[in-house]
């Protein structure tokens, strides 16, 4: 079976935020996840993309079914995945997976069509995988092509120019509720990119009264300086909630930073004076039960998606043209990608390594077995990983050699070293 592109994931189209946050992988855990997955059966290369809109596993899989099963086992171990949860996930293979990735990178599969941050998030995920040595020849080519297509879409359409961001949606909510923002008090919890972006859009819309709260005081001070605002300590949160008109939470926290009791106490002090509360975080920062409080107008990422969809009409023509560009690029690129993997020497090397590993595993079991199912799985995963690393490294080396004579010399050396008999090259043909 030829290796192929597989994407397994869950996103804002397939599941609500309560499901997405369960399977979100924080940045400081992504390298461990990559290392765990790359040692799994059926997976040759892997990139993990985890954002507020999606968690996706982008695989170059030697066996799509086994690769999917490896992701399933990983999710079960890490997140206690239940069989009923699997219905929230999608699995895309071959051309469908490639087109999906093109659309994600170009911002066509985002909360807001044309979202510019989509490209940078995929780049960051790719660089993490490269540092972990889990994205190599094939996924490097796939993601680089996706970035090139995103640049082409940006150059040839007005998609990015007409995009409306999550931060812009916050402004729309605030102005719809309060009108002018110059006299409105705004509390931002968190001082990362999300909070900074929201503050920037609100400032452009006329907001001038900002207060910032972050576990790291220096981060809050940085934004307070940039937007001529105030910094708060944790002890000042309750009093600020009693007077703020707009509260935006965008903190990196595994638990709620505002719960029902916090807002309930604040509303008593406010005598039910209305407040707009927006949760931009995943995992969520604010207990969704605050929605039931009188005077609280609460919005999370799923609610903001509905706001953004109301602005999508102006982007329709640009999105249709962008879709045509991406669809046209998929078949030719994917055919070339598949043809590149069909180097007869590498195919023969992989088979020879699998044969050697199989012999050694049988010998090991004869000496020390029988093994448990988990032990057998671990041993076979290790053997598969070794095979993938050696064959993949050899394929990259052959591709990097500029002279055909050097390629032929290395090929002959590998054939002699591993006693390989290579068949005539046959380029695979895949339907769309």
- Domain stop point among 308, 324, 353: 308
User: Can you tell me the mean pLDDT for 333-352?
Assistant: 75
- Does residue 31 form part of some domain? yes
Say how many domains are in the chain. Answer: 3
312: confidence class by pLDDT, cuts 50, 70, 90: low
- Does residue 432 form part of some domain? no
User: Can you tell me the mean pLDDT for 340-362?
Assistant: 78
**Residues 326, 258 share a domain:** no
Q: What is the pTM of this model?
A: 0.75
pLDDT in tens, 80-122: 998 888 889 999 999 999 999 999 999 888 887 767 788 999 9
**Residues 365, 244 share a domain:** no
**Residues 109, 214 share a domain:** no
Quick check: 425 pLDDT over 50? no
Give the sign of the dihedral formed by CA 332, CA 337, CA 341, CA 344.
positive
**Residues 270, 332 share a domain:** no
**Residues 212, 112 share a domain:** no
Quote the pLDDT of residue 429: 34
**Residues 103, 39 share a domain:** yes
Quote the pLDDT of residue 424: 37
CB–CB of 140/44 below 8 Å?
Answer: no
The C-alpha angle 125, 127, 129, rounded to 5 degrees, equals 70
Stretch among 5-14, 227-236, 246-255, 345-354 having the lowest mean pLDDT: 345-354
pLDDT in tens, 258-298: 999 999 999 998 876 899 999 999 999 999 999 999 999 99
**Distance between CA atoms of residues 143 and 102, nearest Å:** 8
Helix (H, G, I), strand (E, B) or coil at 332: helix
Instruction: Give me the CATH number covering residue 282.
Output: 3.40.50.720
User: Can you tell me the mean pLDDT for 54-71?
Assistant: 94
Tokens 């086994």 sit at which residue?
A: 66
**Residues 152, 8 share a domain:** yes
Residues near 340 by Cβ (< 8 Å), separated by ≥ 6?
Answer: 138, 141, 399
Quote the pLDDT of residue 29: 95
Quote the pLDDT of residue 394: 79
CB–CB of 143/122 below 8 Å?
Answer: yes
Give the sign of the dihedral formed by CA 281, CA 286, CA 291, CA 294.
negative
Give the sign of the dihedral formed by CA 310, CA 283, CA 223, CA 240.
positive
pLDDT in tens, 166-220: 888 888 888 888 999 999 999 999 998 889 999 999 999 999 999 999 999 999 9
Among residues 6, 46, 52, 304, which one is catalytic? 52
**Residues 194, 153 share a domain:** no
Quote the pLDDT of residue 285: 95
Instruction: Give me the CATH number covering residue 35.
Output: 3.30.460.30
Report which listed range, 281-295, 330-344, 410-424, is most confident: 281-295
Tokens 């309930």 sit at which residue?
A: 264
Stretch among 60-64, 109-113, 150-154, 257-261 having the lowest mean pLDDT: 109-113
Quote the pLDDT of residue 428: 34
Quick check: 431 pLDDT over 50? no
**Distance between CA atoms of residues 12 and 383, nearest Å:** 37
- Higher local confidence (pLDDT), 208 or 304: 208
Active-site residue 52, yes or no?
yes
430: confidence class by pLDDT, cuts 50, 70, 90: very low
Quote the pLDDT of residue 254: 86
Tokens representing 413 are: 């050396």
The mean of the pLDDT values for the chain is: 86
The C-alpha angle 230, 235, 236, rounded to 5 degrees, equals 35
User: Can you tell me the mean pLDDT for 143-156?
Assistant: 90
- Domain stop point among 289, 308, 327: 308
Quick check: 393 pLDDT over 80? no
Domain that holds residue 48: 4-162+314-338
**Distance between CA atoms of residues 54 and 73, nearest Å:** 19
Q: Please name which of 115, 7, 5 lies closest in space to residue 57, comparing C-alpha atoms.
A: 7
Question: Residue 238: how many CA atoms within 13 Å on its side-chain side?
Answer: 8
361: confidence class by pLDDT, cuts 50, 70, 90: confident
**Residues 231, 348 share a domain:** no
- Does residue 249 form part of some domain? yes
**Residues 354, 233 share a domain:** no
- Does residue 430 form part of some domain? no
**Residues 297, 384 share a domain:** no
Furthest-apart CA atoms within the chain: distance in Å: 84
- Does residue 424 form part of some domain? no
- Does residue 149 form part of some domain? yes
- Does residue 236 form part of some domain? yes
- Does residue 429 form part of some domain? no
Quote the pLDDT of residue 337: 82
CB–CB of 14/100 below 8 Å?
Answer: no
Helix (H, G, I), strand (E, B) or coil at 119: helix
**Residues 8, 157 share a domain:** yes
Q: Please name which of 74, 26, 73 lies closest in space to residue 50, comparing C-alpha atoms.
A: 26
With a pLDDT cut of 70, the percent of the chain lying above it is 91
CB–CB of 383/368 below 8 Å?
Answer: no
Tokens representing 368 are: 């020390």
**Distance between CA atoms of residues 256 and 116, nearest Å:** 28
């Amino acid at each position: 079976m030829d290796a192929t592109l597989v994407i397994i994931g869950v996103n804002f189209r397939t599941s609500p935020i309560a499901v997405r946050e369960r399977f979100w992988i924080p940045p400081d855990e992504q390298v461990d996840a990559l290392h765990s997955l790359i040692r799994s059966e059926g997976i040759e290369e892997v990139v993990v993309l985890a954002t507020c809109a999606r968690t996706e596993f982008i695989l170059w899989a030697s066996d799509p079914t086994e690769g999917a099963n490896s992701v399933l086992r990983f999710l079960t171990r890490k997140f206690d995945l239940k069989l009923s949860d699997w219905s929230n996930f999608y699995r895309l293979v071959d051309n469908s997976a490639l087109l999906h990735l093109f659309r994600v990178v170009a911002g066509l599969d985002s909360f807001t069509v044309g979202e510019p941050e989509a490209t940078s998030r995929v780049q960051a995920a790719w660089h993490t995988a490269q540092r972990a040595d889990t994205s190599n020849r094939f996924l490097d080519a796939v993601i680089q092509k996706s970035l090139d297509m995103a640049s082409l879409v940006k150059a040839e359409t007005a998609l990015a120019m007409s995009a409306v961001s999550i931060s812009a949606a916050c402004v729309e909510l605030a102005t719809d509720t309060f009108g002018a923002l110059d006299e409105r008090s705004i509390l931002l919890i968190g001082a990362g990119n999300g909070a900074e972006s929201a503050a920037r859009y609100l400032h452009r819309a006329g907001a001038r009264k900002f207060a910032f709260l972050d576990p790291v005081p220096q981060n809050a001070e940085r934004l307070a300086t940039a937007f001529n605002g105030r910094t708060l300590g944790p002890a000042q949160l309750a009093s600020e909630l009693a007077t703020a008109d707009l509260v935006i939470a965008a903190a990196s926290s595994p638990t709620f930073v505002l719960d029902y009791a916090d807002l309930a106490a604040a509303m008593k002090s406010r005598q039910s004076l209305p407040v707009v509360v927006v949760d931009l975080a995943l995992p969520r920062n604010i207990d969704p039960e605050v929605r039931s409080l009188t005077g609280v107008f609460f919005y999370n990422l799923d609610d903001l998606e509905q706001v953004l969809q109301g602005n999508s009409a102006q982007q329709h023509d640009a999105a249709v043209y962008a879709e045509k560009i991406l669809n046209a690029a998929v078949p030719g690129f994917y055919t070339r990608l598949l043809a590149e993997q069909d180097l007869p020497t590498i195919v023969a090397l992989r088979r020879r390594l699998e044969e050697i590993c199989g012999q050694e595993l049988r010998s090991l079991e004869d000496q020390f077995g029988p093994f448990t199912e988990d032990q057998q799985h671990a041993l076979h995963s290790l053997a598969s990983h070794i095979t993938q690393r050696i064959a993949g490294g050899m394929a990259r080396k052959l591709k990097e050699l500029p002279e055909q004579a050097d390629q032929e010399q290395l090929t002959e050396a590998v054939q002699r070293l591993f006693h390989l008999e290579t068949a005539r090259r046959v380029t695979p043909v895949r339907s769309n």
